[in-house]
Amino acid sequence: MTFQLSPPAVHIPFFHVGFIVPDLDAAMEEFHVALGIEWRAPIDALIPLRGPDGVVETNVYSVYSEGGPPAIELVQSVRGIPLAGNGGVSFHHLGFWTDRLADSSYDLDERG
């Protein structure tokens, strides 16, 4: 199933560490066996992403861990865009959503 998510829903849970993985289902199992991590239901979402040809809507298959903060987000690699990864598991981003985005961005800039 493919559906469009609103920006706040994309960023739930609020604080997370995102990794790009070559195979989402296999990575979920590996993290579960190695670290005991439980997962929420995977999301298959159509998200606008910037690629070499501009912004395109791309299917992104991802999942968040239960618990946190921080939660762990796994995103399956998508060729030709910033979610391509390096062929293995790779750190991609820290995610934080706030209703005070402008103030938070200013605070971060002030702290360097």
Which CATH number is 83's domain given? 3.10.180.10
Q: Is residue 7 part of a domain?
A: no
Residue 92 has a pLDDT of 80
What number of other Cβ atoms are within 10 A of residue 18's Cβ? 18
The residues pairing with 16 across neighbouring beta strands, listed in sequence order, are 71, 95
- 96 confidence band (pLDDT: 50, 70, 90): confident
Q: How many domains does the chain have?
A: 1
Tell me the residue range of the domain where 26 lies: 13-110
Please check the confidence at residue 93 and state whether its pLDDT lies above 70: yes
d(CA 2, CA 76): 15
Average pLDDT over every residue of 40-60: 83
Q: Is residue 3 part of a domain?
A: no
Residue 110 has a pLDDT of 72
Identify the helix (H) or strand (E) that includes residue 110. Answer: helix 101-110
d(CA 65, CA 21): 14
Average pLDDT over every residue of 3-29: 71
Q: Is residue 6 part of a domain?
A: no
d(CA 112, CA 57): 33
